[in-house]
Amino acid sequence: MKKMSLRAKMLLCILPVMAIAMIILTFVAADQSKKAIREATSNAMEQSVTANVNAVVGTLNVIENTAVNITEMIATSYKFVTMDNYRGTISSIITENDSVLGAGIWFEPNVFDSKEKYVGPYWYKDGGSIVETMEYSNADYDYFNQEYYTNAKSLSQGQAKITDPYYDPSTGKIMASCSAPIYDNGTFVGCVTVDMELTNIQDMVKSIRIGKTGTAMLTSSDGTYIYTDDDSKVQNAVKITADNNASLASAGSTVMASNTSDVNEVYFTEGKDTIMLLYSTIPDVGWKAMIRMSTTEMDESVNSLISKLILICVIALVVGAAIIYVFVLSISKSINNVKAFAGSLASGDFTVNKIESKSGDELGQMSDSLNDMYENNKDVITKISDGSVQVSETSTGLASMASELSSQFNSIQGNISGVNDAMMSSGAATEEVNASVEEVNASVHQLAAETEKTSSEAADIKGRARDIERQSKQAYDYAISIAEQRESDLVEANEKAKVVDQIGTLADTIAEIADQINLLSLNASIEAARAGDAGKGFAVVASEINKLASSTSEAVEQIRDTIDGVQEAFSTLSSSSGELLTFIKETVTPDYDRFVNLAKQYGIDADSFGGSSENIAHMVENIRAAMEEVSKAIQNIAESTQDTADLSSRVNDSVMAAADVVSNVNDMSSKQEAIAGTLEEIVGKFKLK
């Protein structure tokens, strides 16, 4: 690893990290996409199941309402009308409704006709006509013990019940019967049956498709297939719990065990594929509406996404490796230039050109630093080289000067005698110096007065600094208090704003009630239309209720829009208040804190300035005392001048000793000349030109 090139090291360090990061990113993206796609598909399937259930419920409600309307008509008229009167009404109902195959009226013994026990006319479609038959009004058929009749006797007035569907081999249709009881003043007098075919429901279920594999299924309350892709299962009345696919049969058991109208899901396998099955129970009849879809189809787009991401990762790694290689190649070139330049300097060659670097990165800064070092060292070595020549020349001159100095000392000895005469004249000069000292002493006294004034001003500055510090601390505490109070107010306002959410909940409740009213008005309009002229007044009321429900829905939408506006405005106000509190806490409060610290430093500086003033005053006092000592010393100098003449003879002796020292200096200059030669030899190793 140590012997590898910089390019190889950077590629080995960066590329694995990039590869790992891209792999992690690919798996995370794939996982999140898989969850999102499955959730979206599940929601679409759930909506389809709900829509399927609602459509089936709507169709069954029409049949139930038809049966109940017939019973109400018969309950009020069977005592005074003939069967011919019912024939036209029943025939009209069968003709107008494509889903109705036939209808029958089944009376209790001797109720419609006191002489007949069995009175049960039945009308049914035969091609384009309606056929009436009484072949079921006999003891052999005994409709009193039939399922539809016993079901009707167990119901209250105004109720209806639909039997489980069954397959009619003669017509090749799936059928079901709806029965409703006839009550006369609380007494059960018979029932009405309406037979319907489920072709429309089958077609509706068949039309439901999601994607390529998403299809719908419908079973009765006992699990018998009403519709599935395999028609043979419908014709043979196969139950989902007995399906030849054991996994589907197990899932079917779970479906049949559920009685809730909520949409649930279960999984089963079909070959090597896993199928998701969403199901719900149709109210009142207990039928099961289901939608199935292959999970392979759900994951198909995710697998395609993974392939694309892998391809992108490979391309990104190749491009990244190329970019890194080019970038590292540029860095290596710059480093090699620096290496060659540093090697030349290390060998003492200062004739090389400076490094040319136009980049502002670390390599460019290092090149600039080496160029600066090159300039500085070259300048120093050049000066040393020039200085060595000068030292050599100076050493030669110093030797000659030392010889000349020795001869001069001989003449100095003769001049010592003149010193005595000069000493006599120095006495007068000493008196003049004494007068000047007196003037200096007066100036020192004035300086002491100014120093005392400065100390007083420093004390005033210190007092003002303390006032500023106290006021700044008060402002800082006040800013903190305001920030805490406004933050508390903002929290309280946020709590109060939750009332808007409660208003939104109430608006949703009102909207649901409006939708229910709208549905009721629609059912009322249908019943009014069936009632003909007698239901026109009821139709007007239903229309007005529908308008009221629509107006209520529009008002609820306006309330929701208003709530959204209030919430948005309050969110903006809350955000602005938060930013203001943040500004006070993060900007104003730290500024006050720095101002307090500045005031403290101002006081410290005042103390320091006061201390300096006191030191100056003390020094002035010392100067004044020193000047008095100087004055006394000058008097002593005057007296000492007389003694100087006596010492002149002694100086003559010292001059002779100095002559010997000059001889020693001459020897030292010779040694210095040798050292200069050595220095010149060292400098010669550097190439400067």
Q: Which residues contact 86 (CB under 8 A, 6 or more apart)?
A: 74, 105, 121
CB 181 within 8 A of CB 71: yes
pLDDT digits (tens, 9 = 90+) for 485-508: 767 776 776 676 666 677 667 767
Tell me, what's the pLDDT at 253? 94
Q: How many domains does the chain have?
A: 2
444: pLDDT confidence band, cut at 50, 70 and 90? low
Cα 100 from Cα 89, distance rounded (Å): 14
Cα 92 from Cα 130, distance rounded (Å): 9
Residue 206 has pLDDT above 80, yes or no: yes
Domain containing 60 — which CATH number? Answer: 3.30.450.20
Three-state SS across 74-108? HHCCCCCCCHHHHHHHHHHHHHHCCCEEEEEEEEC
Domain span including residue 563: 475-650
Residue 357 lies in a domain: no
Residue 151 lies in a domain: yes
Residue 371 lies in a domain: no
pLDDT digits (tens, 9 = 90+) for 4-23: 666 676 667 777 887 888 88
pLDDT digits (tens, 9 = 90+) for 585-611: 677 567 657 756 766 776 676 677 567
% pLDDT > 90, the chain:
22
pTM flag (> 0.95): no
135: pLDDT confidence band, cut at 50, 70 and 90? very high
Higher pLDDT, 527 or 152: 152
Higher pLDDT, 31 or 537: 31
pLDDT digits (tens, 9 = 90+) for 224-241: 999 998 888 988 889 999
Tell me, what's the pLDDT at 268? 94
Element (DSSP H or E) covering residue 9: helix 6-75
Domain endpoint, select from 299, 329, 360 = 299
Tell me, what's the pLDDT at 287? 93
DSSP state, residue 239: B
CB 104 within 8 A of CB 120: yes
Residue 111 lies in a domain: yes
DSSP string, 142-173: -GGGSHHHHHHHTSPTT--EEPPPEEETTTTE
Residue 234 lies in a domain: yes
Domain endpoint, select from 246, 279, 299 = 299
Domain containing 504 — which CATH number? Answer: 1.10.287.950
Tell me, what's the pLDDT at 363? 64
Higher pLDDT, 369 or 204: 204
Q: Which residues contact 528 (CB under 8 A, 6 or more apart)?
A: 535, 536, 538, 539, 542
In angstroms, the Cα distances linking 503 to 152, 397, 560 are: 46, 109, 9
Tell me, what's the pLDDT at 276? 93
Residue type, 624: R
Tell me, what's the pLDDT at 191? 96
Residue 120 has pLDDT above 70, yes or no: yes
Residue 343 lies in a domain: no
Three-state SS across 460-509? HHHHHHHHHHHHHHHHHHHHHHHHHHHHHHHHHHHHHCHHHHHHHHHHHH
Q: What share of the chain is helix, strand, coil (3-state, %, to 5)?
A: 70, 10, 15
DSSP state, residue 116: -
Residue 410 lies in a domain: no
Domain endpoint, select from 259, 283, 299 = 299
Task: Please compute the mean of the pLDDT values over residues 121-145 and round it to a whole number.
Answer: 92
Residue 609 lies in a domain: yes
Least confident among 257-261, 577-581, 643-647:
643-647
Cα 12 from Cα 191, distance rounded (Å): 88
